[in-house]
Amino acid sequence: MWIDAITDFESGKRLVAVKNVSLSEDHIHDHFPAQGEKSAMPVMPNSLIVEGMAQTAGILVGSVNGFREKVVLAKITRAVIERDVLPGRTIRYDASLERMDSAGAATTGTIEMLDHSTGEATLIGRVELVFSHIDNNMSGMEFPEHNFVFSDNFRTILKSAGLESLCD
């Protein structure tokens, strides 16, 4: 999971989630480790920041039909991350639903970094994503009946945000 909590939700329109970046996360130490004379510079990998936005937007898309459809990321249309996120900061993902139909959905989102020492939020990125409802795919492929995309981790995040009704 690359989000920790949902902080705002407008059904069918918008979902906001946060991720607290901690030095205790293993992936931080590998990105970028000390090499020779250079000291370590631990940062949150941009690929995982984009994945956090995909999870945020994916929950928004899936919630429209009560998670009855299997929603998967089909395309990253645009992803721009302009600053590194260091441990001790919080990432805020703000996803908006732009288009939704039986085949899938398109979303846009902004990514902000919250600095707890100053209380400031800085816009660090923008992401545009396309999701597919794989049960309605054009290839004719069959997928398992159970929703393998909607995991217990997502269910826990929804419940902790007071959105239990979306889990039904």
User: Residue 22 gets which letter from DSSP?
Assistant: -
Options 27, 31, 116, 133, the catalytic residue: 31
Query: Whole-prediction pTM value?
Result: 0.89
**Cα three-residue angle 12-157-77, rounded to 5 degrees:** 50
H/E segment holding residue 104? strand 104-115
What are phi and psi for residue 3, nearest 5 degrees? -130, 150
Average pLDDT, the chain: 88
Closest by Cα among 134, 13, 21 to 63? 13
Closest by Cα among 18, 89, 84 to 53? 18
143 pLDDT band, cuts 50/70/90, is low
> Is 31 part of the annotated catalytic residue set?
yes
Task: Give the model confidence (pLDDT) of 28-70 as tens digits.
Answer: 877 777 788 888 788 999 999 999 999 999 999 999 988 888 8
CATH of span 5-167: 3.10.129.10
Domain boundaries, the chain: 5-167
For the cut 70, the answer to whether the pLDDT of residue 127 exceeds it is: yes
